[in-house]
Amino acid sequence: MIIRGGVNIYPIEIENVIIEHPSVAEAQIFSIPDERYGEEVCAWIKLKPNAPKCEPNDITQFLTDKIAFFKIPKHIRIVDKFIMTPTGKVQKFKLSEAMVHELKERGDSKK
């Protein structure tokens, strides 16, 4: 569960909406620390093979009328693979660490 500004957000709810997008194969929703809200929603998305081009803004637009504005991921990254354990489970804490690192490198982080 993500707690953003005192509101409970369930990642599976957002993941289920994102995978309705015709280009999306899988989605992982997780949080990163945020000064203002405590946590901010992030998404890593894998596209279907041979899917039409899809950018983070396309996902944001797709979600706009489908979920509450505060559930729309602030940071969306299109990836080829997720960080997994040897047994094949997604390591969301590693996705969060990687996202924080990437945002710091871009100068986009206010952790």
Asked if residue 51 is part of any domain, the answer here is: yes
Helix/strand/coil (H, E, C) string of the chain?
CEEECCEEECHHHHHHHHCCCCCEEEEEEEEEEECCCEEEEEEEEEECCCCCCCCHHHHHHHHHCCCCHHHCCCEEEEECCCCECCCCCECHHHHHHHHHHHHHHHCCCCC
pLDDT at 84: 96
Q: How many domains does the chain have?
A: 1
Asked if residue 111 is part of any domain, the answer here is: no
What is the per-residue pLDDT across 57-84, written as a single tens digit (0 to 9) for each? 999 999 999 999 999 999 999 999 999 9
pLDDT at 108: 76
Of the pLDDT bands very low, low, confident and very high (cuts 50, 70, 90), residue 111 is very low
Asked if residue 45 is part of any domain, the answer here is: yes
Q: Domain range spanning residue 61?
A: 2-106
- Report the CATH number that the domain containing residue 57 is assigned in CATH: 3.30.300.30
pTM over 0.85: yes
pLDDT at 59: 98
Of the pLDDT bands very low, low, confident and very high (cuts 50, 70, 90), residue 94 is very high
Asked if residue 13 is part of any domain, the answer here is: yes
